[in-house]
Amino acid sequence: MPFKTTLVDEATERTAKEYLSKGTQVRCVHPQEAPEKITCQYDEAFAVVGVLDEAGKAAEEGYDGVLISCFGDPGLKPARELANIPVVGTAESAMLFGAALAQRFSVITIPQSLVCVAEDIAKLSGVYDKLASVRHLGSQAFEMRKEQKVQRTYDEAIRAIEEDGAQALVIGCTGLLDVPAPLQQLLREKKGYDVPVIDPVGAPVKFLESLIALGLSQSKLTYMAPSK
């Protein structure tokens, strides 16, 4: 969790545990050096070194994998160079689920500054052709109560489906962790839209578990180990 605020710790742990296989243990950590929260690429820049520090420690301490729990995937690629255990990002994993389940998906995030970030991750992950749009709630949504967040996300989801052609939704911010389940239900009940809503903690957690179970990790030809 590459930021200082502990506001989403409880929801992140709860969500992760909800989806974990039996026997998997998760530890949430915040790096010592980190921005208060992440709302743009400038914030992300101050998160990277802390991410690497924690990823390195995790590998040394015998953890089986690392998840960078922030939708901008800060430090994902250098951490993959550093570590010999699989490292997954939130956005990349969640978008791959979106690409697999629908012809086109939209991402809904909070800050406008992260729209281009999400587009760039889709381009580099190879799923840009299936990205219908990236929509944002605006930074005031960080302060909303859960019901408001669900309502605002619902409004953008309807636009994504009806104007942009989305057929699945990726929730693009760990500040919206309790939104996916009620949103999926609302869309079905109010409009009859039976579409998958992909959770930005659940999807990467399961993807990481899968890699560990399969004995797979990032390619060391793509992410070569740094020379000492």
For 162-182, b/e burial (b = at least 16 CB within 10 A) is eebebbbbbbbbbbbbbbbeb
For 26-40, b/e burial (b = at least 16 CB within 10 A) is eeeeebeebbebbbb
Nearest to 21 by CA among 214, 219, 179, 217: 214
* Min dist. Cβ of residue 83 to its own copies (A): 10
Task: Please choose, out of 5-13, 63-71, 108-116, 152-160, the segment that lies near its own copies by the rule CB under 8 A.
Answer: 108-116
Contact pick of 14, 57, 123, 146 for its own copies (by CB under 8 A): 123
Contact pick of 4, 9, 154, 196 for its own copies (by CB under 8 A): 196
Question: Does 224 interact with its own copies (rule: CB under 8 A)?
Answer: yes
Taking phi first (over 0 means left), then psi (-120 to 50 degrees means alpha), and beta for anything else, what does residue 138 get? left
Question: 3-class SS at 52?
Answer: helix
Of the two residues 61 and 222, which places its CB atom closer to its own copies in the complex? 222
* Min dist. Cβ of residue 151 to its own copies (A): 21
Contact pick of 59, 66, 108, 203 for its own copies (by CB under 8 A): 203
Question: Does 143 interact with its own copies (rule: CB under 8 A)?
Answer: no
Question: Does 195 interact with its own copies (rule: CB under 8 A)?
Answer: yes
User: What is residue 88's DSSP assignment?
Assistant: E
CB atoms near residue 25 (< 10 Å): 8
Contact pick of 129, 143, 145, 189 for its own copies (by CB under 8 A): 129
Contact pick of 64, 125, 151, 154 for its own copies (by CB under 8 A): 125
Question: Does 75 interact with its own copies (rule: CB under 8 A)?
Answer: yes
Nearest to 143 by CA among 175, 170, 180: 175
Question: 3-class SS at 206?
Answer: helix
Task: Give the x/- contact pattern for its own copies in 20-49, rule: CB under 8 A.
Answer: -xxx---------------xxxxxxxx-xx
